[in-house]
Chain A
Amino acid sequence: MVRIRVPMLPAPGELPWSASVNDTEVDIHVESNAILLDVLRDQVGTLGVKRGCDMGTCGCCSVLVDGEPRLSCLMLAHEAAGCALTTVEGLADGHHLHPIQETFTTHGGSQCGFCTPGFLVVISALLEENPEPNEAEIKAAIDGNLCRCTGYQQIVDSVRAASMIITSGKKTADATDPMPDPHPGMPTVEVESEELEVVPDE
């Protein structure tokens, strides 16, 4: 068998790269051949952008480039220079989650969560363009994202619920507020204080 290695030479020099990532100006130097996904994860530090297949199949690496969802694994970093980039970290408004982030938690839109950032980014762009998408439009929008856990129905449900929040004009709850009672309406049990065993501090 002939053994030949494809040469792995060091990349030609780094070039200045600047872009607005989640409304923060970033000025760094990146290699000429760098892929946007690598720059965002390794140099900018937005680890919400996931590397799934690295081939454009799964959509886990989706980011918004000037508001349009794009696959960061198939985009050269220098092509995105000067653009406004939004990753999943930039979707929330302060302490208020984006409606689709909130409804993903309430409707079981994510299980293992690996594909979730890609879905959230793509769906946020859909809702921005079309706040009341029908089922066919939702399915067409997430056609490029793969999820291996939930089976998509919960994701479609989450989009519908998020659409209702957006059209109602309400803001999502402050994520730092104490969680409400998870079982409202459950009868409280009266306990006599003598029945409680007090464990003394050691």
Chain B
Amino acid sequence: MKTICLYFEIHQIIHLKRYRFFDIGTDHYYYDDYENERSITDIAERSYMPALNTLLEMIKANDKYFKVAFSLSGVGIEQLEMHAPQVLEKLQQLNETGCVEFLAEPYSHGLASLINEESFAREVKKQCEKITEYFGQKPKVLRNSSLIYSDDIGLQVSQMGFKGMLTEGAKHVLGWKSPHYVYNCALAPNLKLLLRDVTLSDDISLRFNNSDWDGYPLFADNYINKIAAFPEEEQVFNIFMELSALGIAQPLSSNILDFINALPACAKAKGITFSTPTEICMKMKSVSALDVPDTLSWVDEERDVSCWLGNPMQREAFNKLYSVADRVRIANDPRINQDWDYLQASNNFRFMTTKPSNIGLDRGIYSSPFDAFTNYMNILGDFINRVNSLYPEDIDNDELNGLLTTIKNQGDEIEMKEKEILRLQTKIEKMQASEDKLKAKVEKAKAPAAKKAPAKKVDATEPSK
């Protein structure tokens, strides 16, 4: 039986403000509050809310037949918390239906998986905690930022305890193979891979409203027929996209929500079900391992990391940023950690791309890749100074880690001792109190001084209690 796995990404970056080099050292706030509020409210209004409403209706109307998965980046959640909490509430309502799965992903929507394993692991953990806090689910399937994947990343993800991972069904990796099966990581056979069906996904997210496209206008029954027409053995249809595709990339006026709304009924008619990624990972067997020696992603025609790390400027910025990754982790300073999350977002590198692309790139406040690079490097300059000034630079990371651990251990010890002291002190107070009582009794009885001895006996027996 064929099944559709529908998944939406929810991510919005914290926009950086115009930051000149003469701000370095004087201004440690890097964000454009106005733009953050404006963009997230706009997207929530035009895309997230109407789209989530439709999905909720679909779940209710189809009585557990329709299922959907989301992943939220940590910075995205923070943005929503601040400027559009109604989206999070809506997601919680969706969660209550039991037909929604939330996936894990790196907190910052960054590229740590390419360079620093520990940072990556920590980010994913932080993100999972946040998801658990909001939705009470512990994510079992991971999707990396922009579906970045390679064998090495797969191995690490498997070691982190995930059952499956989403990635791109890129032609250069699949070759003659079909993305409509479950595969497994070449280095970690237990990690199942769900591959995005590029054509079916892009039909919705890229082309839906394009009247020049052959498939225009796209109707739900045609779309489902297309899926049904695949050979019976091909069972999994992974349709992954950003949630903002519904409403921003494809405007609401194109009736895209009606299209989505009609999918379950059409699918039911053809006997096609909906599943969440975890269900697929549990139910389906992997047909074979998939070799992915080079990193792939869902971006651009190349489906690789060249849109973030394609030119020397991007690589310099990337290497400079992650040169302080260990330091940031060891130092564990709350303000630094926050900036670290925001600065890592891959979008910051995307703004610096010089690659020609047929999909328009909105560079925000930047007029050119050079402008984006200059601004980012200024901020990074200030950030790195701050990281370095936390602890003397001549102490290397291992030493610092050692020292900090020692300090922490000593701190714990002191805390323990303080507790002990507190305990003993209360004990003494108690004893003092009982002694006072006895004294009072004795005085009441107007007994001679020799009668104090029993009181001392009580004192001696006390510690054995």
Asked if A pairs with B, the answer is no
Instruction: Report which B residues bind A (CB closer than 8 A).
Output: none
Could you tell me which A residues sit within 8 Å of B by CB distance?
A: none
